[in-house]
Chains A and B, each alone.
Chain A
Amino acid sequence: MSEKIATREAYGKALVQIGAENPDVVVLDADLSKSTKTIDFKKAYPDRFFDFGVAEQNMIGTAAGLAAAGKIPFCSSFAVFATGRVFDQVRQSVAYPRLNVKIGASHAGITVGEDGSSHQSIEDIALMRVLPNVTVFVPADAVEVAGAVRAAAAINGPVYIRLGRAPVPVLHGEDFVFKPGEAVMLRDGNDATIISTGIMVAVALEAADALSREGIEVRVLDIHTIKPIDVSAVVQAARETGAVVTAEEHSIIGGLGSAVAEVLAENYPVPLKRVGIEDSFGESGKPDELMAKYGLTSANIVLSVKRAMKRKR
């Protein structure tokens, strides 16, 4: 787990791979191809790459038209622009007509860092999750990105893929199989469950190690598919471990924590603590400084697990 690769880097490589396999794949960007890494695809397949300049709404709308004519467009920008800026275009021109458009959104969350809150998307999962017909992937590492891109190309409908700027540990081996909608149990335990997504999966594993040193054995679930969420894995974790902590680099409102709370409340209520951005905007700073300041740390997860366990009946 020593190697670190940003999920956006893996996205660029995965696009080139899928582009080689499927001539209908086209890639669209809005003046951020060097950052989102779609530039890799642009270099490999210049005729199938379209830059729309600083005009994200038209990028999404054009993708809808391309998809209506049989193409498989992957659109990229920063997550804050690829969801909030174009929410109506995604809702009206993509999700409602169930068109085969993929949105690969990089620079999600506060690990964007120094650019500050205007560029830190903490609500994109909520925005995409609420739309009917949209599948939401939040890969935890480079291996999951490759699987998510492949799965997205195979799904006939809208898919949102959340990607990050900062390098993160590679958690999976080459033999990992990405199964859309299926949670991955990375570690088993009976005392509690940490349900995590994206870059917080690696942090959750650190927390599990720390808890284990104190004699607390937790299960760690990696939810790479937020929608449709793996209801049975979440309910089983609640039933077998009796307490749940969620961990995400996103607002605790509307994202993974909310999705898990919905599943638990309706199926098997157990003590729950959500670790994430607590209803505030971010700010400028180094990624690790921001993670510490906003509580996206293994220490905070450890504390949250202990608190949730105390509330067990």
Chain B
Amino acid sequence: MSIPFHVLQGKVQEIRRYIILMTTAAGSGHPGGSLSATDIVAALYFDVMRIDPKRPDDPDRDRFVLSKGHAAPLLYATLAERGFFPVKELMTLRKLGSRLQGHPDMRKLPGVEMSTGSLGQGLSAANGMALAARLDGRDYRVYVLLGDGETQEGQVWEAAMAAAHYKLDNLTAFLDYNGLQIDGPVEEVMSLGQVADKWRAFGWHVIEIDGHDLKAILQAVEEAKNVKGKPTMVVARTIKGKGVSFMENQVDWHGSAPKGEQATKALIELGAPR
């Protein structure tokens, strides 16, 4: 599905507003890393991926794995806005009995392709889906979003090696490189070093973009589709808390929800009617 660019831009802001509303209603959650990856996930679900909300189990659908499972508000808002379930259900986030668990549960909510939350495992799962596509002769593509702090997990690099070894060119990964993790700047907590070079050295095709430039995201996806014999990593420079002035680049908004007036201010900045 391809949609007019201004409509996609509107979806991005709408999803960002839902992220604020949901986490405010829940009183907890992870707005910072949800807002940083909103452009990427919205572009995938509204412009790139071959999906039908009425047929969430279609064997030929494209897959998206949210490896950084704590960005669940982003995934849920996107799925709801895309029609997988009613938007009003978003307000049940993290509440007892809700299908919207604190981290994504593939058995509870349609459209969630993998249960994630324990970091570092989503790329392996995406690899498995990409291998299955090849085994079954299906042409679907697999997308996966990793956090930057998440790539400190060793399993990510096991999976990076395997994706290149098995030449998974139907796999496109995004790194949400917002530079912050719970304990502080990634550079200070555990430096990732030369990120793009590392992925290249592991045998990946690497594209570096501004992760808030929708056109750059769409171009990177198209470029990845034409790469043969290797997986693609899109290193996306992003801003944690993007779109809300007092959240941007503030590590404290990794895992805490806005309250009352903060939420109102955030929503106005994100274009909500006053």
Contact = CB atoms under 8 A, between A and B. Distances in A.
B136 A53 contact: no
A93 B113 CA distance: 11
Interface size class of A (residues with CB under 8 A): 20 to 34
B131 A62 contact: yes
B131 A92 contact: no
A50 B118 CA distance: 24
Contacts of B129: 65-66, 68-69
Interface residues of B, number: 33
A62 B155 contact: no
Interface stretch (B74-82, B157-165, B182-190, B228-236): B157-165
A115 interface: no
5 contacts: A55-B158, A61-B159, A71-B128, A89-B121, A97-B107
B127 A65 contact: yes
Contacts of A48: 135
B105 A97 contact: yes
A67 interface: yes
A64 B158 contact: no
B152 interface: no
B114 interface: yes
B162 to A, nearest CB: 6
B125 interface: yes
Contacts of A60: 124
B256 interface: no
B135 A55 contact: no
Contacts of A55: 155, 158, 161-162
Contacts of B161: 53, 55, 58
A63 interface: yes
Interface string B106-121: 1100000111111001
A52 interface: yes
A269 B253 CA distance: 54
Given A58-B158, A65-B131, A93 B166 contact: no
A167 B159 CA distance: 35
Interface string A42-62: 000001101011010110111
B162 A62 contact: yes
Task: Give the secondary structure class of B's interface.
Answer: helix
Given A61-B128, A61-B159, A89-B121, 13 more contacts: A47-B135, A52-B158, A55-B155, A55-B162, A58-B155, A61-B124, A63-B128, A64-B121, A68-B129, A69-B63, A69-B136, A73-B128, A97-B107
Contact of B158 (A57, A66, A69, A92): A57
Given A58-B162, A62-B162, A93-B121, A68 B114 contact: yes
B115 A62 contact: no
B132 A93 contact: no
A93 B128 CA distance: 12
Count chain B CB atoms within 10 A of each CB in A65, A89, A92 and give the residue with the most. Answer: A65
B83 interface: no
Given A57-B124, A92-B121, A70 B155 contact: no
Nearest to A73: B128
B133 A92 contact: no
B126 interface: yes
9 nearest A-B residue pairs (beta carbon): A65-B128, A61-B124, A69-B132, A58-B158, A65-B125, A55-B158, A97-B115, A66-B128, A92-B118
A62 B154 contact: no
B86 interface: no
Contacts of A93: 114-115, 118, 121, 124-125
B117 A68 contact: no
A202 to B, nearest CB: 38
B10 interface: no
Contacts of A89: 121, 124, 155
Contacts of B271: none
Contacts of B107: 97-98
Contact of B128 (A53, A67, A91): A67
Contacts of B159: 58, 61-62
